Chains A and B, each alone.
Chain A
Amino acid sequence: MPSNPRGVFSLIIINKAGGLIYQREFQSGLRNLSTNDYLVLAGTFHGVHAITRSITPKIPIAQPAPSTTSTGTAAPAASGYSYPNPGVPVSGLDYLETDKFRLTCFQTLTGTKFLLFTDPLTGGVDAIIQRIYELYADYVMKNPFYQIEMPVRCEAFDRHLGAWLRGRT
């Protein structure tokens, strides 16, 4: 697969509201989805992502037990519930995997989602997504003709994204 050295099948970008704003395939011969299918996929993923966030289990916060171990009284009183490892923010669904492909989701702190479809064996997916995010920040966000939250139609973004994924730069 010399035309696709990074093993990336396709990319989808979903805006904060769950709308599909970008979709592009990087490998010929992929099963074609209709535009409508992609819109449904984006909306569905957005919804599932939100649900996975909200069902993140909380665990009781243990009070620092007053040293009553010897008396063997009840379990430490719970003063409330918290997410495990509270320093780390709650994420939603991070990836889906089948035998044939892997879908990795990267949600920025602003709520934009990058969905990358790759070969399950493709390594370094995080770095690939990071680079795509940088290209997006450059060629989409800095383009005065791009309107925020709207579909991405930026020729320079397409060009640089394609060139980079083909491994030229």
Chain B
Amino acid sequence: MSSTKNSRIGEEIWKTRVDKVNAELVTLTYGTIVAQLCQDYDSNYHDVNKQLDKMGYNIGMRLIEDFLAKSGVGRCVNFRETADMIAKVGFKIFLNVTPTVTNWTSDNTQFSLIFEDNPLADFVELPDDGRAQDELWFSNILCGVLRGSLEMVQMQIEAHFVSDVLRGDDTTEMRVSLVRYIEDEMPPEEE
């Protein structure tokens, strides 16, 4: 498949076409956003998760144009290719990581992204208040980013974290489900 091709595309764009900044500035900026939300929402982590997702959605709707402009890639022929593109090109050029795509359902509409590294959570420890580790999804903004950007290319999806090393889990895993293709922008049928 085009899988190794996407890896090459991602690497190439990251190396030659992406303006860089100090990673710590990005990490700390995200940290101060989350901390501010925790303060504004009085440590109601469910609301914080929701707000992070919403912010990510806003970002995704904009970020997709940057992704398309930088990558020049065309429409994916199916959801499996979309997943591969997200992991190897999308995450690569915006966060310099390549999560693993795995745990597909048999109908090819749901998969997991497993994050070996997550720059947003570098040097983060959740508040030791007996609740944050059970309720807060620190990197929840990423779910919104996927939702927003895919919606702009006519895919309605649902995304949520199922585990996070910050919570003491052994992996950081996001589950992504295709809800439907929007309107007549259906990609050509498979096969």
Please report A residues at the B interface, Cβ cutoff 8 Å.
Answer: 83, 86-87, 89, 108-110, 112, 130, 133-134, 136-138, 141-142, 148
Give Cα A141–Cα B153 distance, bound, in whole angstroms.
Answer: 16
Nearest neighbor of B61 in chain A, beta-carbon distance: A148
Q: Which of A89, A110, A112 contacts B74 (CB 8 A)?
A: A89
Nearest neighbor of B76 in chain A, beta-carbon distance: A109
Q: Are B68 and A141 in contact (CB under 8 A)?
A: no
Q: Are B70 and A137 in contact (CB under 8 A)?
A: yes
Give Cα A141–Cα B66 distance, bound, in whole angstroms.
Answer: 8
Q: Check A108/B74 contact, CB under 8 A, given A87-B188, A89-B187, A148-B62.
A: no
Using C-beta atoms within 8 Å of the partner chain, give the interface range for chain B: 10 to 19
Is B152 interfacial (CB-CB < 8 Å)? yes
> Which residues does chain A contribute within 8 Å of B75, judged by CB atoms?
89, 109
Q: Are B77 and A110 in contact (CB under 8 A)?
A: no
Q: Are A141 and B62 in contact (CB under 8 A)?
A: yes
Q: Check A108/B188 contact, CB under 8 A, given A89-B74, A134-B70.
A: no
> Which residues does chain B contribute within 8 Å of A142, judged by CB atoms?
62, 66
26 contacts between A and B (CB under 8 A): A83-B188, A87-B188, A89-B75, A108-B69, A109-B68, A109-B74, A109-B152, A109-B153, A110-B64, A110-B68, A110-B152, A110-B153, A112-B65, A130-B72, A133-B68, A134-B69, A136-B65, A136-B69, A137-B68, A137-B69, A137-B70, A141-B62, A141-B63, A142-B62, A148-B61, A148-B62
> Which residues does chain A contribute within 8 Å of B70, judged by CB atoms?
134, 137
> Which residues does chain A contribute within 8 Å of B65, judged by CB atoms?
108, 110, 112, 133, 136-137, 141
- Nearest chain A CB to B117 CB, angstrom units: 24
Q: Which of A87, A133, A148 contacts B69 (CB 8 A)?
A: A133
- Chain A, interface SS category: loop
Q: Are B62 and A108 in contact (CB under 8 A)?
A: no
A108-B65, A109-B152, A133-B65 provided; 7 other pairs, C-beta below 8 A? A87-B188, A109-B68, A110-B153, A130-B72, A137-B69, A148-B61, A148-B62
- Nearest chain B CB to A119 CB, angstrom units: 25
> Which residues does chain B contribute within 8 Å of A87, judged by CB atoms?
77, 188
Chain B residues 67-109 with CB under 8 Å of chain A are 68-70, 72, 74-75, 77
> Which residues does chain A contribute within 8 Å of B68, judged by CB atoms?
108-110, 133, 137
Q: Are B69 and A130 in contact (CB under 8 A)?
A: yes
> Which residues does chain B contribute within 8 Å of A130, judged by CB atoms?
69, 72
Nearest neighbor of B152 in chain A, beta-carbon distance: A110
> Which residues does chain B contribute within 8 Å of A133, judged by CB atoms?
65, 68-69
- Nearest chain B CB to A31 CB, angstrom units: 31
Chain B residues 47-65 with CB under 8 Å of chain A are 61-65
